[in-house]
């Protein structure tokens, strides 16, 4: 089925994106490769949301695995029609895609908030650990001369900007791919059911096919 191949392609892409989301989120904990800021809890509150690890990572692995398995689904189907079973599998993939949409949406929203709120750092102006750009509504991103207000961690603005932006983009792509699979799953399931009904109508004498044809066919082969 072409719908299954499309789902499998989406699944592999999601696996790659989820892996990079997890890596980016982990790096947010270690500005400039230093671990002391994480142990001292001197990082942005949005880093602790684990939006890349949970939202863009773990919650994406599940639908990715489901999508990859759709192309080679060996379900025997129902009433002797294999397409019926595959149609059910395609429709069930919509639920997995919705989980992916929720996870990627969480990753996207938290990344946007992290960029808008700015980093938590030792301010050269207030001489204290604060969010110096919290009232700028993201305007600080275009005011490079203000970035030096953060004394520690060093280059924290650039660090957060890079990683949160990566997570924002990855989360957005994951959201789009899962949304595509929702449409693909519906179309694949509905088209499979319609094709199966047409097959039944064109072969009215085949209604006596056993409910589980796979087992029946194997026993007949042994009898012969």
Please write the tens of the pLDDT for every residue from 111-141. 999 999 999 999 988 889 999 998 888 889 9
C-alpha span between 189 and 85 (Å, rounded): 9
pTM of the model: 0.78
Q: Give the per-residue pLDDT at 212.
A: 40
Cβ atoms of residues 31 and 37 within 8 Å: yes
Q: Give the per-residue pLDDT at 208.
A: 42
N-terminal to C-terminal alpha carbon distance within the chain: 32
Cis peptide before 153 (omega within 30 of 0): yes
35: Cα separation from own chain's centroid: 28
162: Cα separation from own chain's centroid: 20
Q: Give the per-residue pLDDT at 90.
A: 79
Q: Give the per-residue pLDDT at 71.
A: 62
Q: Give the orientation angle of helix 59-70 with respect to helix 2-28, to 10 degrees.
A: 160
Nearest of 10, 46, 4 to residue 28 by alpha carbon: 46
Nearest of 173, 50, 43, 163 to residue 104 by alpha carbon: 173
Q: Give the per-residue pLDDT at 7.
A: 87
- Starting from the edge strand earliest in sequence, which strands make up the sheet with 129-130, in order? 129-130, 121-123, 150-152
Cβ atoms of residues 15 and 170 within 8 Å: no
Q: Give the per-residue pLDDT at 72.
A: 59
Residue 2 burial (C-beta neighbours within 10 Å; 0-12, 13-18, 19+): exposed
All residues at 6 or more sequence positions from 39 whose CB lies less than 8 Å from its CB, including other chains? none
Q: Give the per-residue pLDDT at 207.
A: 46
Classified as helix, coil or strand, 130 is: strand
Q: What are the backbone dihedrals phi and psi of residue 43, each rounded to the nearest 5 degrees, phi first? A: -130, 165
**pLDDT by residue for the chain (224 residues), tens digit each?**
577 788 899 999 999 999 999 999 999 999 988 999 998 889 999 999 999 999 999 999 999 999 998 765 544 443 344 444 566 777 888 999 999 999 999 999 999 999 999 999 999 888 899 999 988 888 899 988 889 899 999 999 999 999 999 999 999 999 999 999 999 888 877 775 444 444 445 555 444 444 444 444 444 444 44
124: Cα separation from own chain's centroid: 39
Q: Give the per-residue pLDDT at 203.
A: 53
Q: Give the per-residue pLDDT at 5.
A: 84
Q: Give the per-residue pLDDT at 92.
A: 80
């Amino acid at each position: 089925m072409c719908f299954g191949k499309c789902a499998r392609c989406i699944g592999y892409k999601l696996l790659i994106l989820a892996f990079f989301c997890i890596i980016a989120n982990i790096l947010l904990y270690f500005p400039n490769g230093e671990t002391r800021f994480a142990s001292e809890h001197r990082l942005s509150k949005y880093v602790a949301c684990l939006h890349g690890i949970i939202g863009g990572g773990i919650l994406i692995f599940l639908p990715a695995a489901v999508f990859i398995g759709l192309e080679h689904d060996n379900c025997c189907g129902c009433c002797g029609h294999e397409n019926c079973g595959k149609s059910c599998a395609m429709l069930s993939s919509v639920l997995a895609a919705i989980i992916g949409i929720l996870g990627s949406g969480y990753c996207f929203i938290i990344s946007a908030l992290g960029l808008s709120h700015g980093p938590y750092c030792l301010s050269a102006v207030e001489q204290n650990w604060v969010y110096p750009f919290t009232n700028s509504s993201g305007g600080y991103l275009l005011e490079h001369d203000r970035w030096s207000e953060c004394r520690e961690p060093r280059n924290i603005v650039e660090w957060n900007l890079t990683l949160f932006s990566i997570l924002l983009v990855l989360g957005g792509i994951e959201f789009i791919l899962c949304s595509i699979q929702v449409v693909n799953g519906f179309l694949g399931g509905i088209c499979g059911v319609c094709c199966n009904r047409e097959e039944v109508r064109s072969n009215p004498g085949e209604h006596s096919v056993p409910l589980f044809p796979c087992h029946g066919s194997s026993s007949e082969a042994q009898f012969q």
